[in-house]
């Protein structure tokens, strides 16, 4: 089996003596597949880009190796990699599929985009060439996510013997969104996807993709789409939750919260996560229900993300201002209504998941949002999930969640109040049902579905 993704399962750091140490990579894809593919019984290869200077140094030194997995890092031209990742992948395709373009003003596809698109094609070609060169005959090739949408078509053209699949971890915009792209780019992306079976976390995104192919490419092209939702790894959650780092973080959190109720969110600082509107809904709840003033704390663990892009820097400022506004309006000498923590602390996040009374997951749109499933499996307080219907996870968890509209501040405030005031017996029943739903899928079932789809 060969897995292909832009970001790999490990990152490397340079030690003082000049040696290199491999660390587990971040992100849901890495945490899901890494334990499965590093099993000594599995013959697997993972192709990814060397993302950092230390990754490239390890590669050049011949030290980019890890136990029980063939790891292939590509040393991409930095300018091509930047245009591929920052411009096309994150400023165009991410915004497109998450419905975040302000179409009256952007995007503007000019000659600079044409240069960036050429870089996107070149980087996808480099990944495809690496697959073609390394894959044994008739091997299974699983290409992951929107950064590499052109790879499936390139590989199947060069190596028709390979069994290739493509999985998209984002939402899919549908025909109207795809028409925003330059026609040649939209055609290339959809034709590449249509060459292989394509997986999505929900039936909704699969239907949007199918409609895009039929409307933009015509009825003679038959897309093969399926839904296969990812689930958390319970063993990893248990291991991290029992660590000394998690116990220390929980003690720190308990000292901060005391006997107050706790609302929690865990996100990257990223516009689609809708963090600022979540604070606005909380502010409205405090305005409408005075009893909650001083009795609840909103803990927001928000890791900085993609800070090389101006949109993300601006959104971080917006999030910080939104939290400060709530604190200035309602805070007292002994109560801070919002605690915004921008540290990247995985153990601390797992510790917080064990402690929440209400978990807020209110994205504008999300392919899945694994936190919505991790939270119920970690939580020990029969916590309530406030979940946006625009999160892919809503398709599975709706029966046991309180719906929280991502744009309706008044409804969001009501959802928070409803979650906080849910009777104890109802919380217990709802939490038990939510745990069953969240545990129904695992990384192994998700991987098995991908392999089955191309077999």
Q: Is 31 a residue whose pLDDT tops 90?
A: no
Tens digits of per-residue pLDDT, 283-308?
999 999 999 999 999 999 998 888 78
DSSP 294: T
Q: 6-30 burial string, b = 16+ CB within 10 Å, else e?
A: bbbbbbbebeeeeebebebbebbbb
* C-alpha to C-alpha distance for 406 and 390, rounded to whole angstroms: 8
Question: Helices in 379-441 by DSSP H: which ranges?
Answer: 394-397, 409-421, 424-438
Task: Considering the chain, tell me which residue range(s) the CATH 3.40.50.2000 domain(s) occupy.
Answer: 2-230+444-453, 234-438
Residues 6+ apart with CB under 8 A from 37: 1, 3, 9, 44, 46, 69
pLDDT of residue 27: 80
Question: For residue 387, what are the CA distances in angstroms to 51, 363, 397, 412?
Answer: 33, 8, 9, 10
Tens digits of per-residue pLDDT, 316-329?
999 999 999 999 99
Per-residue pLDDT band at 166 (split at 50, 70, 90): very high
Tens digits of per-residue pLDDT, 326-340?
999 999 999 999 999
Q: Is 164 a residue whose pLDDT tops 90?
A: yes
Tens digits of per-residue pLDDT, 109-154?
999 999 999 999 999 999 999 999 999 999 999 999 999 999 999 9
What average pLDDT does the chain have? 96
Q: Is 50 a residue whose pLDDT tops 90?
A: yes
Tens digits of per-residue pLDDT, 238-267?
999 999 999 999 999 999 999 999 999 999
pLDDT of residue 377: 97
pLDDT of residue 432: 98
| Cross-strand partners of 22 | 12
Residue 119: name the closest of 87, 167, 142 by CA.
87
Strand stretches in 90-192, DSSP E: 140-144, 163-167
Which whole number is the average pLDDT over 12-32?
Answer: 90
pLDDT of residue 40: 87
Which whole number is the average pLDDT over 217-223?
Answer: 95
pLDDT of residue 455: 84
Which whole number is the average pLDDT over 171-193?
Answer: 97
pLDDT of residue 304: 85
CATH topology classification for 234-438? Rossmann fold (3.40.50)
pLDDT of residue 276: 97
* C-alpha to C-alpha distance for 422 and 440, rounded to whole angstroms: 25
Supply 158's token pair: 């060069």
Which whole number is the average pLDDT over 380-403?
Answer: 98
Q: Which pairing describes strands 20-24 and 10-14: parallel, antiparallel, or unpaired?
A: antiparallel
pLDDT of residue 307: 78
- DSSP, collapsed to helix, strand or coil, labels residue 375 as helix
* C-alpha to C-alpha distance for 352 and 300, rounded to whole angstroms: 10
Tens digits of per-residue pLDDT, 52-97?
999 999 999 999 999 999 999 999 999 999 999 999 999 999 999 9
Pick one of 3.40.50.2000, 3.40.50.300, 3.40.50.620, 3.40.50.1980 as the CATH number of 2-230+444-453.
3.40.50.2000
């Amino acid at each position: 089996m060969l897995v292909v993704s832009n970001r790999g399962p490990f990152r490397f750091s340079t030690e003082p003596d000049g040696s290199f140490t491999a660390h587990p990579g971040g992100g849901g894809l890495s945490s899901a597949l890494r334990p499965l593919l590093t099993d000594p019984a599995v013959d697997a290869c993972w192709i990814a880009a060397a993302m950092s200077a230390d990754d490239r140094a390890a590669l050049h030194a011949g030290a980019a190796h890890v136990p029980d997995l063939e790891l292939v890092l590509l040393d991409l031209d930095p300018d091509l990699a930047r245009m591929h990742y920052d411009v096309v992948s994150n400023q165009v395709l991410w915004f497109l599929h998450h419905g975040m373009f302000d179409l009256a003003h952007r995007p503007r596809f000019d000659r600079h985009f044409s240069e960036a698109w050429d870089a996107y094609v070149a980087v996808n070609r480099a990944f495809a060439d690496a697959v073609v060169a390394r894959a044994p005959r008739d091997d299974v090739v699983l290409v992951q996510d929107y950064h590499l949408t052109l790879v499936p078509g390139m590989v199947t053209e060069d190596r028709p013997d390979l069994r290739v699949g493509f999985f998209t971890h984002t939402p899919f915009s549908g025909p109207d969104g795809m028409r925003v792209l330059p026609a040649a780019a939209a055609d290339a992306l959809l034709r590449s996807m249509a060459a292989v079976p394509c997986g999505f976390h929900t039936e909704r995104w699969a239907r949007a993709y199918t409609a895009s192919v039929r409307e933009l490419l015509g009825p003679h092209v038959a897309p093969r789409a399926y839904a296969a939702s990812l689930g958390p790894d319970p063993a990893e959650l248990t291991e991290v939750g029992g660590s000394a780092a998690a116990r220390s973080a929980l003690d720190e959190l308990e000292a901060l919260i005391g006997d107050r109720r706790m609302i929690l969110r865990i996100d990257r600082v990223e516009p689609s996560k809708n963090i600022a509107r979540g604070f606005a809904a909380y502010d409205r709840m405090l305005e409408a229900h005075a009893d909650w003033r001083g009795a609840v704390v909103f803990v927001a663990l928000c890791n900085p993300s993609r800070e090389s892009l101006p949109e993300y820097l601006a959104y971080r400022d917006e999030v910080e201002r939104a939290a400060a506004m709530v604190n200035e309006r309602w805070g007292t000498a002994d109560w801070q209504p919002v605690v915004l923590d921008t540290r990247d602390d995985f153990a601390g996040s797992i510790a917080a998941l064990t402690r929440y009374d209400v978990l807020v997951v209110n994205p504008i749109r999300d392919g899945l949002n694994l936190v919505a499933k991790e939270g119920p499996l970690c939580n020990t307080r029969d916590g309530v999930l406030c979940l946006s219907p625009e999160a892919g996870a809503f398709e599975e968890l709706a029966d046991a969640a309180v719906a929280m509209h991502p744009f309706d501040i008044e409804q969001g405030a009501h959802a928070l109040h409803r979650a906080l005031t849910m009777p104890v017996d109802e919380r217990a029943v709802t939490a038990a049902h939510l745990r069953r739903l969240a545990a129904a899928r695992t990384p192994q079932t998700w991987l098995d579905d991908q392999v089955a789809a191309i077999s």
